């Protein structure tokens, strides 16, 4: 019986409103934890998506999309608050909502250190192209493009698809792969061809509602177990009814309420959280194009700095509104969230290694009242679709401009657009095929999987970047050989992790020593150090770099003005002017912006350059008052961060 079908018609619902009745009718696998939506949930989802489309359309037309800075850098006109909100939304999508809550349910609050570490790098802004300008040549930039594609498949597209499909599966009862197809189809329909401005403003709206919804859910979750004081005791007693005899894997960790854990036996050792995590954070917040592009869209340096600081403040929230609610979900629904028996886990969530990833969607379904539940579902789906659209675009651009143009230097613009779309399809297919491997990795904890893959691939870039900034003698040969050595070692470790996944409860751990006894955060430290040693040794054996590559204006470490000059030159490159015909040079700043709908299939038809290629795209000036405000807030942020580390250590 489906009571909600009486007196209603599925056909009358808007195409973009997820239909709970349709979900039940199309369900391939009915889940015991799913729950149908109410009519109010559907109305709220319809309202939210209407508002999202309206905001996206309005912001698309505010900025001239037929200029490079309008399409790629939002006209360099973004204020600090949308920049900060977009930075937060880009790094805190639906995948991390599910991943953070799941890891919190499985192991406690230590995972919050991954979020707080951002404040250490809030004032650093750069892009991968800096390495090309620092060393010259093309092969380092080519390597970074290939690595970005690998990371997009392993840690972005596949995890976003999986987390979104899992959320829909838990909330609506759909089969996991049917939900994945839904995510892809709706993303294609939802695609906004409005450039960066549309993405940033929709991210801002989603951040606002996500924070409100997450706070409401956290308050309800804490009230359900009697407040924060009862969380630690209740968590330690959260044991599933069905356990595996003669094992302890069903027991919660005794150090669940501590950030710093034993360096040998801890699941997140304090040595790795202090040093290894810093290596990963430096890579992500200093070189990831999605993050950097938002900072480059700020109207001036003060707004870029303030946006980073705002994002850092927001990153302090996940402990209280995501991770601890995940722990509460284990307390309230221990049989489902903390299951250890493979057959039981397979029945609950479709994965034999554990079901901690359902912790947050389970809370949304069970605790949120009618209406707010629909809003949270809509926000999670919208956040997923926005992140997928951004990753699809950036990945296809990387392959088309940095790889395909090297293979076919005379490729036409139409060919490049076609190749970009084909690459997107290929990446999606690979990502979908990767989902079963993702499900069984890292004991089923999505967030730990992301970090473990990153630990194998990102540290060499951090090492090379740091040496490029602080050691003038680093040359191109040393940097490239160091990157290749680091890649080989990282891929070897990654291959072992996938070949020997974490054993299920009750199964002896027969993994190789490198995987069983060397934590992935410790491995990140070792890999970074080995890469640095290789870079230094080979650089000393070779000739020193040209003076033009290590002059004050070419090195980030020489001060703010040099940094902003580099960013200005890099921003000019980042917008890919070689997408254009050689004859297209005139500016169109005065031309009214066109509606983005006509560019849905073919992309922007006449994107025009804005002045000479060497023109800096960033305002390096700062009003003294706002510079002091930014510095004061950075100090306050660091103090809050240190206090939180000390309190929960």
CATH of the domain at 252: 1.20.1730.10
More confident residue, 626 or 578: 626
Residue 448 lies inside a defined structural domain of this protein: yes
Has residue 473 got a pLDDT over 60? yes
Q: Cα separation of 448 and 185, whole Å?
A: 28
Q: Which of 111-120, 127-136, 242-251 has the highest mean pLDDT?
A: 242-251
Q: How far apart are CA 453 and CA 524, in angstroms?
A: 10
Q: What is the DSSP string of 84-149?
A: HHHHHHHHS-HHHHHHHHHHHHHH-GGGHHHHHGGGGGTT----THHHHHHH-SSHHHHHHHHHHH
| 421-447: b (≥16 Cβ within 10 Å) or e | eebbeebbeebbebbeebbbbbbbbbb
Q: Is residue 200 part of a domain?
A: yes
**pLDDT tens per residue, range 394-435:** 777 778 877 888 888 888 877 877 887 788 788 888 888 888
Whether residue 593 is contained in a domain is answered as: no
Cα 327 to its chain centre, rounded Å, is 22
Per the CB < 8 A criterion, the answer to whether 252 and 330 are in contact is yes
**CA 592 to the chain's CA centroid:** 34
Smallest CA-to-CA distance from 89 within 318, 287, 332 is with 318
- On whether residue 16 sits in a domain, the answer given is no
Does a structural domain hold residue 265? Answer: yes
Alpha-carbon span 546 to 474, nearest angstrom: 11
The domain of 454 spans 40-577+608-648
- As for how many domains the chain has, the answer is 1
208 contact partners, CB below 8 Å, separation of at least 6: 85
Percent of the chain with pLDDT strictly greater than 70:
72
- The torsion of the CA quartet 607, 609, 613, 616, rounded to 10 degrees, works out to -100
- Could you tell me the two tokens for 176? 């996991």
Q: What is the DSSP letter of 608?
A: B
- Taking the C-alpha atoms of residue 354 and residue 453, their distance in angstroms, rounded to an integer, is 19
Torsion angle (degrees, nearest 10) of CA 276, 281, 286, 289:
120
* 588: in domain: no
| pLDDT tens string 166-201 | 887 777 777 777 777 777 776 665 544 444 556 667
Beta bridge partners of 608: 67
Does 4 reside within a domain?
Answer: no
Residue 91: C-alpha distances to residues 95, 160, 199, 438 (Å): 9, 12, 14, 20
Question: What's residue 56's pLDDT?
Answer: 65
Report if residue 629 sits inside a domain.
yes
């Amino acid at each position: 019986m489906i009571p909600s079908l009486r007196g209603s018609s599925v056909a009358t619902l808007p195409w973009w409103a997820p239909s709970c009745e349709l979900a039940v009718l199309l369900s391939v696998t009915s889940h015991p934890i799913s729950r149908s939506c109410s009519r109010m949930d559907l109305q709220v989802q319809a309202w939210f998506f209407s508002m999202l489309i309206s905001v996206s359309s309005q912001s698309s037309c505010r900025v001239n999309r037929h200029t490079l800075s309008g399409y790629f850098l939002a006209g360099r006109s973004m204020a600090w608050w949308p920049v900060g909100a977009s930075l937060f939304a880009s790094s805190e999508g639906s995948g991390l909502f599910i991943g953070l809550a799941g890891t919190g349910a499985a192991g406690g609050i230590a995972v919050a250190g991954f979020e707080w570490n951002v404040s250490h790098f809030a004032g650093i802004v750069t892009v991968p192209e800096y390495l090309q300008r620092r060393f010259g040549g093309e092969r380092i930039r080519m390597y970074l493009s290939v690595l970005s594609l690998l990371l997009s498949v392993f840690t972005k597209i596949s995890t976003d698809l999986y987390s979104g499909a899992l959320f829909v599966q838990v909330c609506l009862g759909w089969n996991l792969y049917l939900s994945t197809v839904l995510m892809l189809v709706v993303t294609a329909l939802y695609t906004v061809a409005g450039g960066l401005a549309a993405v940033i403003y929709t991210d801002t709206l989603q951040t606002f509602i996500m924070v409100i919804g997450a706070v409401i859910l956290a308050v309800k979750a804490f009230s359900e177990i009697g407040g924060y004081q009862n969380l630690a005791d209740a968590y330690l007693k959260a044991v599933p009814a069905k356990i595996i005899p003669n094992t302890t894997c069903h027991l919660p960790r005794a150090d669940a309420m501590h950030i710093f854990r034993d360096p040998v036996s801890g699941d997140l050792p304090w040595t790795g959280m202090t040093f290894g995590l810093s290596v990963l954070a430096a890579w992500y917040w200093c070189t990831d194009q999605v993050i950097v592009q938002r900072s480059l869209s700020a109207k001036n340096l003060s707004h870029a700095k303030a946006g980073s600081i705002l994002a850092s403040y927001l990153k302090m929230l996940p402990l209280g509104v995501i991770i601890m609610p995940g722990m509460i979900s284990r307390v309230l629904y221990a049989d489902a969230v903390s299951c250890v028996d493979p057959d039981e886990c397979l029945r609950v969530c479709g994965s034999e290694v554990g079901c901690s990833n359902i912790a947050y969607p389970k809370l949304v379904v069970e605790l949120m009242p009618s209406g707010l539940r629909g809003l949270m579902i809509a926000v999670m789906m919208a956040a997923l679709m926005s992140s997928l659209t951004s990753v699809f675009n950036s990945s296809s651009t990387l392959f088309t401009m940095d790889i395909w143009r090297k293979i076919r230097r005379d490729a036409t613009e139409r060919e490049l657009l076609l190749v970009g779309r084909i690459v997107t399809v290929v990446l999606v297919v690979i990502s979908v095929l990767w989902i079963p491997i993702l499900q069984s990795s890292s004991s089923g904890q999505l967030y730990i999987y992301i970090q473990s893959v990153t630990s194998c691939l990102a540290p060499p870039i951090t090492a090379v970047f740091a040496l490029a900034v602080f050691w003038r003698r680093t040359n191109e040969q040393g940097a490239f050989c160091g990157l290749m050595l680091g890649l080989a070692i990282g891929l070897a470790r990654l291959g072992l992790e996938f070949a020997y996944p974490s054993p299920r409860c009750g199964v002896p751990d027969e993994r190789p020593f490198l995987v069983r006894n060397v934590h992935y955060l410790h491995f990140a430290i070792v890999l970074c150090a080995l890469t640095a040693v290789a870079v230094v040794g080979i650089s000393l054996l070779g000739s020193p770099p040209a003076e033009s590559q290590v002059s004050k204006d070419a090195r980030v470490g020489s001060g703010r003005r040099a940094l902003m000059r580099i960013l200005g030159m890099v921003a000019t490159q980042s917008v890919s002017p070689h997408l254009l015909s050689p004859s297209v040079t005139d500016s169109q700043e005065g031309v009214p912006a066109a509606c983005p709908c006509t560019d849905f299939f073919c992309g922007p038809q006449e994107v025009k350059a804005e002045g000479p290629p060497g023109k800096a795209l960033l305002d390096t000036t700062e009003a003294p008052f706002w510079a002091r405000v930014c510095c004061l807030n950075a100090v306050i942020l660091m103090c809050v961060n240190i206090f939180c580390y000390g309190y929960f250590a």
